[in-house]
Amino acid sequence: MAEQQEISIWFFCGILMLAYGVVLVATGLTEIHHPPPTVLAELQPTLWWGVLLSLFGGFYTIRFRPGKG
Amino acid sequence: MFLFSGQQLTKLSPVDVLILVLYFALVVFIGFYAKGKANTSEDFFLAGREMTAWIAGLSFVSANLGSLELMGWAGSAYQYGILAAHWYWIGAIPAMLFLGIVMMPFYYISKTHSVPGYLHLRFGEGARALSAVSFALMTILMSGVNMYAMAVVMQTILGWNITFSIWVGAGTVALYVMLGGLRSAIINEVLQFVLIWAGAAMIPILGLIEAGGWTKLKAQIAVNVGSSDYTHMWTTLGHFSSNPMGVHWTGIVFGLGFVISFGYWTTDFLVVQRVLSANNLRAAKMAPVIGAAFKMAVPFIVIVPGLLALAVLKNADGSTMHLVASNIAKGNPGLHSYDEVLPLMLIRYCGPGLLGLGITALVAGFMSGMAGNVSAFSTVWTYDIYGAFINKRASDSHYVAMGRWSTVIGMLVSIMTAYLVMNANSIMDYVQALFSFFIAPLFGTVILGMMWKRASHAGGFWGLLAGTASSIGMFLWVQTDSSALRYIAMSPDAKPMAENLYRALWSWVICVVVTVVVSLVTKPVPRAELAGLVYGVTPIPDDGATSIWQKPIFWACVVITIFFVLNLIFW
């Protein structure tokens, strides 16, 4: 998007994924000793998916943060 | 209890609710943020024509990635096997590339604001009026159907009250589209695309781990359904009776791959509008190519879960779960319908947090579908109906205000449609069928308009009218006499799915024949009026690509090669 001072669409994507990643990591940590009654819960999918989303979201949040130019 | 009603598949934990609330908060924020940048009609209806190829491309593919579509095709994959992937590959990729490489230059350099707007420039007021009125009516009805579908899904999965879901979903969408126009809709569509992958990708990943990989999955499906037909895309299409879908390869290639796909992806304004927002010609050509690349990956999160369900879904007693048609599941609490396959798989693998992410992805898909319909409606209403026939000389700010008001009124009509569908479910099938009436003939009209100089104003109008009328006629024929299907699909073994494919093919042929015949006996359009609209009279400006990596045609070749390889792998 052309104008200056504009918030990039990628920043919106990044910040949402980062927030979700943090929430999932926190949830995943609490599930280590109390896994939910789902199939393959022993693989800790919530924790690992949270880590992945945090990395993805963190990268986009920093890379496209407002004012970076 | 206003919020909850009836029985439900699962319930949300506080962390799931937090994820959902975060999404709603961001969506509303984006609406207010985009409002400050939607001052002129170009800003409001075409997002200022300043989107990059990536944004326009993701928005283009996302506008079609509604939850109704995701859940419906996951259910179809369970019902018909991997044949359902044809709707994502041959039913989309060639048409998307054709739009980018061949058609986009004409849409873009004509500076049209809509597909009916192009018809106006090429064929005059008659074709524009016919196309605009039918499109406006259909989009608003489709938005209502989408709204009702969302409410039913939320009721089934979470037990939410239907009225609550309809008003919250519609209110949020109306707010952000009214405030920010197409820019707001596009930002949310890109966000939704990322969210859908974040929310749904865990299902095929964990499913394939549980099944032991693709080869073991195929073997298990063959054992469970007693046939290996469910995992082949082409080998079973030699005869109508040799595949679960009851279709023939000619219907898939010509009906779906040519007419329906090209009609939808190249002339449905809902998707074309996203590409028109591109910031230059090269971006406008690249956007559908980028969209096609991502579209090819969608079967991983839609078709694979449907196939996995055939292998891994079990009842509480450990026996294989069998899903049934929705009319059978209704009223039988122990049974689940085909369309519930995605939520069932979500619940199987996703605990608190991941479940909230999956549900949020579904909600985002529904809202994005509604926003796509309502933003396209407000553009066509304001430019091609109100501005063309009711008030031609209003100021730019007046048209922006009309765009905002038509968004709200369109949404209210959609809500009324949702309640209408709630009271008479069969209306849903009719509305979905109605949409297909216009798309196939419209493609005939637009493609002749772009490629054939001799196509006249009268030819365009009468061809479009004849194609649409014949499509409606065939639909009514089969509705009143089901044996008519054998004539339309040219086989007594054809099943209902084949009707859509062949009806589209015939209505396109009729549109083309009538357009050609009428054009040849009526006055041609002067050559000077065709500049910028028709191949052969329009010098295509250079798109500014300086290296092979920047050329849309190069990337289109890469995408089509991968497309062929995928079809061969799953042959």
Nearest to A16 among B26, B350, B351 (CB): B26
Residues of chain A with pLDDT under 50: 1-4
B169 belongs to a structural domain? yes
Separation of alpha carbons B393 and B389, rounded Å: 10
Nearest to A2 among B195, B279, B351 (CB): B279
B267 belongs to a structural domain? yes
Of B90, B75, B169, B98, residue with least CA distance to B367:
B169
Q: Which residue, among B354, B360, B368, would best test binding to A if mutated, counting the most A CBs under 10 Å from its CB?
A: B354
Chain A residues closer than 8 Å to B37 by CB: 3, 6
- Confidence band for B425, pLDDT divided at 50, 70 and 90: low
Domain encompassing residue B249: 14-427
B245: three-class secondary structure by DSSP: coil
A58 to chain B, closest Cα gap in Å: 14
The predicted model gives B59-65 an average pLDDT of 86
**Number of structural domains found in chain B:** 1
Question: Does the pLDDT of residue B86 top 90, yes or no?
Answer: yes
Question: Does the pLDDT of residue B356 top 70, yes or no?
Answer: yes
Q: Which of A36-40, B5-9, B396-400, B410-414 has the lowest mean pLDDT?
A: B5-9
The predicted model gives B323-345 an average pLDDT of 82
CATH number for the domain harbouring residue B60:
1.20.1730.10
* DSSP state letters, B503-531: HHHHHHHHHHHHHHHHHHHSPPPPGGGGT
B321 belongs to a structural domain? yes
Residue A43 · residue B50 · CB < 8 Å = no
B451 belongs to a structural domain? no
B539 belongs to a structural domain? no
Separation of alpha carbons B411 and B423, rounded Å: 19
Among B70-74, B224-228, B394-398, B560-564, the range with the most confident prediction by mean pLDDT is: B560-564
Q: Which residues contact A64 (CB under 8 A, 6 or more apart)?
A: A8, A10, A11, A14
Question: Does the pLDDT of residue B7 top 70, yes or no?
Answer: no
Q: What is the mean pLDDT of chain B?
A: 87
pLDDT tens-digit profile of B317-331?
888 888 888 778 777
Q: Contact A6/B37, CB-based, under 8 Å?
A: yes
pLDDT recorded at residue B426: 66
**A69 near B CB under 8 A:** no
Q: Which of B333-342, B391-400, B512-521 has the lowest mean pLDDT?
A: B333-342
Chain B residues closer than 8 Å to A24 by CB: 353-354, 357
- Confidence band for B91, pLDDT divided at 50, 70 and 90: very high
Nearest to B354 among A7, A17, A49 (CB): A49
The predicted model gives B75-91 an average pLDDT of 91
Residue B134 · residue B468 · CB < 8 Å = yes
B288 belongs to a structural domain? yes
Q: Contact A7/B357, CB-based, under 8 Å?
A: no
pLDDT tens-digit profile of B426-481?
666 666 677 678 888 999 999 999 999 999 999 999 999 999 999 989 988 888 88
